[in-house]
Structure 1
Amino acid sequence: MTRSEALLAESITGWGRDRWAELADRMLLAVRAHASPGHARITPPGSPGGYGTAVDGLEGFARTFLVAGFRLAGEDGRDPLGLAEWYAKGLDAGTDPASPERWPRPEEHAQAKVEAASIALILDMTRPWLWDRLTDSVRDRVVDYLSAVVGDDTYPRCNWVWFRIVVETFLRSVGGPWRAEDIASDLAAHDSFYRGDGWFADGEERSFDHYGGWALHLYPVLWARMRGASDLAGDRTPLDVARLDRFLVDYVRLIGGDGAPLVQGRSLIYRFAAAAPLWAGAVAGVTSTSPGLLRRAASGMVAHFADRGAPDERGLLTIGWYDEWLALAQAYSGPASPYWAAKGMLGLALPADHPVWTAAEEPLPVERADGTWIASPPGWLISSTRADGLVRVVNHGTDHAVVGAQVGDSPLYTRLAYSTATAPLLSERAWTSPLDQSVVLLDAAGVATHRAGMRTLSVSQVGDAVVGASVACAHWLEAAPGQRDHGSGRQGVARDVAMVTTVSILRGPWEVRCVRLDPLPDAPDALREATALRIGGWPVAGDPTVTTEPGRAEARSGVLRSVLVPGPGLHRIGVHTEPDASPLGPNTATPWAAGEVTPGKWTAVAIGLDAGGQPGTSPAIHLVQEAVTVTWPDSTSTTTNLPTG
């Protein structure tokens, strides 16, 4: 490809394969200063993770090994940085029981099962340049280390099933131990997570998040290309690719015009790992999303972070979103955990003449036109607007729980809406008493109820708007002390108070949210403990300014604007401000409205989020007990029936 052709191919983002390679090499060289003498442990600066420094060091090796492997594979073994030799030394020390750098074994610590899969995957991918050149004694020790997973039935039934599949497939290819029943069981578990339309939940709960893409869609594609995997896959590979193909139709529409992924779900510190399913689509040769669109989406995503300081000036990835923000970590996060961002660099495993690198970049869906659509499996209503490049998701089906669960709301999963420009509040208060993007009842002390365990009633397209509804048994929660965040809501003692039905009508930058309270059938007096109904809007971060005036609460940060316009029965409005509650900026501001507790009667608010817009006109809401009609600012109307009973 000539230089002029390369410039044309990368004309939207400016990120071609050379620039991706430069970033990868910068990251790989930067971590060497934090490696142990034998290279087995790489421990970037920072406090030890929840699993201790030995696991931190193993994570650092295994996760950067992914980047190194992609570079070797994509260059057909050309290795100016000496990556194969450098990591071979680490394999030697890490598997040596007598070495002070030895890795925790899979039978000693569960996290080693995760990292073992990355090691096995890259040993297979780079076989001619690394595995085949190891000494017999090192190969024997690697096999012994990986063999601990065989027959181990303690793997969580979630994306972890792929770690055992990958390791045992590699072991089988080198004459090591493996069990066909392990692989069959894990493949069956994976298939049980499928929810339709290309979407997977990460386990039995309603855990829809980036793991669906960077794990449950990624590993089937890479596994199918491992040596001997075709013997094990049978005829399932076309189905796996078809599911990925369908998922990517939705996924590229969830990416903001600035390349931002949706700020939702756990393990957000992996950042541009969210590009992994895009590259998986290129590897698999999906047909519904073009190579030029796949690369534009992936390059936009890595550029989004690189342009905002991740990696940092040292070339390191810290715990955070852009810069370091430790509250974004989960209990399992350590200083090397962010290097699972490596998954988002899979494209480097493809050669320079692959169509994904030679095709001209194509605009994202949000860059082409406004759009609304539904993703039924997660219960999501989605709206994207070309003018500001924002994507908004209204959530009526995801909570990292099951229907009827009496747990606390996870800000990462259970809020009523997420976007590519906002993050849920993540302070301690946000975990125990929801405010942003919530419909709650307050007790006399101002403590809010939770909605986890809600039931989806419907999601549908109505003209050019999308409509969804859910009902929750609102409950206060006395959380058990000492809990460490794994992404899901807090456990504790729940006290039910009322049934809360919520209906959302979404179009463009506006959502109209209708709410009705009903007493509990078996405890009607419980509702008397509630002193107010409160509805929260979008949280904006940075250095926001706030405005409240009759009938309107607004928060602005730069060009980003969050607006809430209350409807009947909501007589109080305000803007909640809070420091250090978001990875997107030092301060946050969230509009809200509150009113009396009136059972059996609908109320409504209009909630808006845009970037660069003027105050303008908010939607007009005509609300009756059976239906709601919304007249949008452009005079278009949407009418939908409201649930009864």
Structure 2
Amino acid sequence: MGGAADESASAPGGGADTADTAGTWSRGDWLALADRMLAAVRPFASPGHALVVVPGREGGYGRAVDGLEGFARTFLLAGFRIAGARGAGVEELADWYAAGVAAGTDPRCADRWVRLDEHPQAKVEAASLALVLDLTRPWIWDRLPSEVRERVVDYLTPAVGDASYPRINWVWFRLVVQTFLRSVGGPHSMDEMAEDLATHDGFARADGWMSDGPERAYDHYVGWALHVYPTLWARMAGAAELAAGRRERDLAGLDRYLRDAVALVGADGSPLVQGRSLIYRFAAAAPFWVGAIAQVPSVSLGQLRRAATGVVRHFVDRGAFDDRGLLTMGWHGPWPRLAQAYSGPGSPYWASKGLLGIALPADHPVWTAAEEPLPVEERDTVRAVRAPGWLVSATRADGIVRVVNHGTDHAVEDATVGDSPLYARLGYSTATSPVLDESGWATPLDQSVTLVDERGRATHRAGMRLLTTHVGGDGVGVAGSRTLAHWVDPDPGHRDHGGGRAGTCRPAGHLTVYSLVLGPWELRLVRVDDLADGLDAAGLRLRVGGWAVAGDAVATFGGGAVSVTGAGLTSSLDGVHGGGTAGATTLPDGGPLAGGLVVPWVDHPVRPGAWVVVLTGLSGARAVTARQACRVVLDEDAGGLRVAAVWPGGASTVTRLDPERARTAVQRPGSSPGRSEAPDLRSNG
């Protein structure tokens, strides 16, 4: 399975090519990683090579689907390897997967594939099969016997006329398959292909961002699906006429998105621990390689390569592979709970997309471009990302990127579903994980603002209304949201597909939350606007939760402040206006990072109409931050709220907010419980 003779595949860090900067991976290093990944799965292939059943717990769709996933997702990686070598020196690899294609499409074989009309997951995997058969056409498809090519067409044909594909990123699975069928003279529908493109265009939001469907679903799928597929599809043999009129627009959207995306990677290469399908790990590198393929004008090849290398290396260096060289279900090491209900042991190999760059030949300029620093490695920045309602704060001293979230929840505005901890928390970062055990779904705590009743039940915020996201002239990021806080009694039998849980909801009252962000600090301003009929403020607490810290973290307290330190991080909360009682909660197996989680929080009495201000902070051990006291003075009048702050680093700022303008559009909450519905998320891909 070795590379071509002039493409030495050595261990990462020891490639034959000359590294451009210290720690840079050469192309040989990338090839070595791909070859090790492909070699590691072979012992788990069926006799005909059509199924690759990676060891592990059976997936939610059964072993037959597990085996198809294992083949299709490693076929992606093999396809990139073959295409980048232009077929030279990888003949055995091409033959091995060609044999799998022949067996998988043969209904007489014991290891034949689940068909598209037998199980929906086959529709996902069929797109990978079609994409790679097109990408490697001279070395696999053109060499298949005619009867095998006919069987492939027959296997893919059920995609034509199938209206059951969910109108999320799945539209690309139908479009890619039909595009390949068109290129080989098979059945296809130009009307359906145009419909899928129009659906994709409907996902477009501000600044090159896309939402994975009608909900506010902003996550890694924006990069590894909704921007990857348009670029690769446009280069397929059957796409020319449809792609010609949209190349410029798709390129502009990708270019603008990547300007934000490179700013969301930590200095250690970690992506945000946010959104579903996190077991796909370094698939998060895929949009950076697509930027190189598409030749985006605004982000240099050197920075794209730095981002891709950083993301993949982050996981390679932190235990993503077990001692057999197999990817596990988890983030760094194994943590099976991170997987969604549909995931199987082959699902993590969607990470193959992160090695898309090896499809670029050895003479592509990306391989000789000197790597350039990521934004977080150059300077402290605060930026507003409008579509998801995020403030992004990056600090050079510790290399951490933080997101303060006021617009993403994987729901629609005014929905009353439960919070998904993967989407609806107030903050995510490259150094922390949200609480993802059962309590994280049922009782929001970390990075939250909740009303807690006498039984300890916390409210949810999904359905919030984004009020603003911007950065002021003084460099302070400002974002705000208002929500009808609600308790949720979830329906039984819920299957975790990443979104919040549906059930019976009971309103608690409206909460307005603003975040002022500067460096590692956030001033979180909270007001209980009103309470639902029949609720007594004396029986409730207003709780503000901070960043969860993993490892053997230790909490220390002082007055209305709490600080949690562990794993090289410090998470702090300080009630700087409105008092408060500090506490911390330990969750022994709360998330995918090593060790348990400790979450700081501050409780306040509920006083409708009164503002509470809590200073939240997250910094690394290497960061040097002045520890002088933070001071805040609030002045509210008919013109809005004036916030004068002296920050821990010594900066003095004045920010004006207008919370009343949005408040007038919000009706008073009732008291009757109501039904909620969660979005349908069936995609394992």
Maintained 8 Å contact 1:252/1:364: yes
CA distance in 2, matches of 1:95, 1:63: 16
Maintained 8 Å contact 2:19/2:25: no
1:516 lines up with 2:503 in the alignment: no
SS at match of 1:627: strand
1:486 lines up with 2:497 in the alignment: yes
Match of 2:620 in 1: 611
Aligned partner of 1:291 among 273, 292, 301: 301
CA displacement at 1:5 relative to structure 2: 12
**Compared CA separation, residues 43 and 287, structure 1 to 2 (3 A):** same
Give the stretch that moved more between structures: 616-625 or 365-374.
616-625
CA displacement at 1:482 relative to structure 2: 1.6
Maintained 8 Å contact 2:15/2:27: no
Match of 2:373 in 1: 363
Aligned partner of 1:43 among 47, 53, 77: 53
Match of 2:206 in 1: 196
1:332 lines up with 2:329 in the alignment: no
Match of 2:475 in 1: 464
CA displacement at 1:559 relative to structure 2: 1.6
SS at match of 2:358: helix
Match of 2:668 in 1: none
CA displacement at 1:637 relative to structure 2: 2.0
**Could you list the per-position Cα deviations for residues 32-58 of structure 1 after superposition, in whole angstroms to 9, with x for gaps in the alignment?**
011111111101111100011000000
Aligned partner of 2:553 among 521, 544, 558: 544
Mapping of residues 403-442 of structure 1, within 5 Å: 403-442=413-452
Match of 2:3 in 1: none
Match of 1:627 in 2: 642
CA displacement at 1:313 relative to structure 2: 2.2
Amino acid at match of 1:40: A
Amino acid at match of 2:400: L
Match of 2:401 in 1: 391
Match of 1:453 in 2: 463
Mapping of residues 172-191 of structure 1, within 5 Å: 172-191=182-201
Match of 1:474 in 2: 485
Aligned partner of 1:554 among 534, 551, 563: 563
Amino acid at match of 1:174: V
Aligned partner of 1:213 among 216, 223, 237: 223
CA distance in 2, matches of 1:66, 1:472: 42
Aligned partner of 1:569 among 578, 598, 602: 578
Aligned partner of 1:503 among 498, 510, 514: 514
Amino acid at match of 1:572: T
SS at match of 1:624: strand
Amino acid at match of 2:99: K
CA displacement at 1:627 relative to structure 2: 2.0
Q: TM-score, normalised by structure 1?
A: 0.97
Match of 2:77 in 1: 67
For these two proteins, the number of residue pairs brought into alignment is 643
**Compared CA separation, residues 515 and 456, structure 1 to 2 (3 A):** same
Maintained 8 Å contact 1:479/1:490: yes
**Could you list the per-position Cα deviations for residues 79-135 of structure 1 after superposition, in whole angstroms to 9, with x for gaps in the alignment?**
347111100111111111111111111111111000000000000000000000001
Maintained 8 Å contact 2:285/2:307: yes
Maintained 8 Å contact 1:9/1:359: no
**Compared CA separation, residues 617 and 34, structure 1 to 2 (3 A):** farther
CA distance in 2, matches of 1:540, 1:622: 30
Aligned partner of 2:97 among 87, 93, 107: 87
Aligned partner of 1:582 among 586, 591, 596: 591
SS at match of 1:351: coil
CA displacement at 1:527 relative to structure 2: 5.4
Q: TM-score, normalised by structure 2?
A: 0.92
**Could you list the per-position Cα deviations for residues 553-582 of structure 1 after superposition, in whole angstroms to 9, with x for gaps in the alignment?**
011113211011113334210111111111
Aligned alpha-carbon RMSD (Å): 1.7
CA distance in 1, matches of 2:609, 2:228: 47
Maintained 8 Å contact 1:543/1:585: no
Amino acid at match of 1:623: L
Give the stretch that moved more between structures: 68-77 or 622-631.
622-631
CA displacement at 1:14 relative to structure 2: 2.5
CA distance in 1, matches of 2:330, 2:20: 28
CA displacement at 1:614 relative to structure 2: 5.8
Match of 2:249 in 1: 239
Maintained 8 Å contact 2:131/2:177: yes
Match of 1:602 in 2: 611
CA distance in 2, matches of 1:6, 1:513: 51
**Compared CA separation, residues 299 and 93, structure 1 to 2 (3 A):** same
CA displacement at 1:202 relative to structure 2: 0.5
1:534 lines up with 2:555 in the alignment: no
Maintained 8 Å contact 1:519/1:526: no
Give the stretch that moved more between structures: 539-548 or 176-185.
539-548
1:107 lines up with 2:107 in the alignment: no
CA distance in 1, matches of 2:597, 2:628: 24
1:119 lines up with 2:129 in the alignment: yes
CA displacement at 1:633 relative to structure 2: 2.5
CA distance in 1, matches of 2:288, 2:615: 35
CA displacement at 1:524 relative to structure 2: 3.9
Aligned partner of 1:639 among 649, 654, 658: 654
CA displacement at 1:586 relative to structure 2: 1.9
The percentage of counterpart residues that share the same residue type is: 57
Maintained 8 Å contact 2:559/2:581: no
CA distance in 2, matches of 1:74, 1:241: 22
CA distance in 2, matches of 1:322, 1:469: 33
CA distance in 2, matches of 1:327, 1:126: 36
SS at match of 1:525: coil
**Could you list the per-position Cα deviations for residues 205-255 of structure 1 after superposition, in whole angstroms to 9, with x for gaps in the alignment?**
000000000000000000011003111223101111110000000000000
1:163 lines up with 2:178 in the alignment: no
Maintained 8 Å contact 2:17/2:28: no
Maintained 8 Å contact 1:570/1:596: no
CA distance in 1, matches of 2:434, 2:595: 14
Amino acid at match of 2:645: V
**Could you list the per-position Cα deviations for residues 294-315 of structure 1 after superposition, in whole angstroms to 9, with x for gaps in the alignment?**
0011001111000011222211
Amino acid at match of 1:229: A
CA distance in 1, matches of 2:538, 2:412: 26
Give the stretch that moved more between structures: 553-562 or 287-296.
553-562
**Compared CA separation, residues 623 and 293, structure 1 to 2 (3 A):** same
Aligned partner of 1:304 among 314, 333, 341: 314
**Could you list the per-position Cα deviations for residues 581-623 of structure 1 after superposition, in whole angstroms to 9, with x for gaps in the alignment?**
1101221111100010100010110000000146723532222
Unaligned runs of 5+ in 2: 1-5, 9-13, 664-685
Amino acid at match of 1:385: T
Maintained 8 Å contact 1:441/1:530: no
Amino acid at match of 2:601: W
CA distance in 2, matches of 1:195, 1:527: 41
SS at match of 1:547: strand
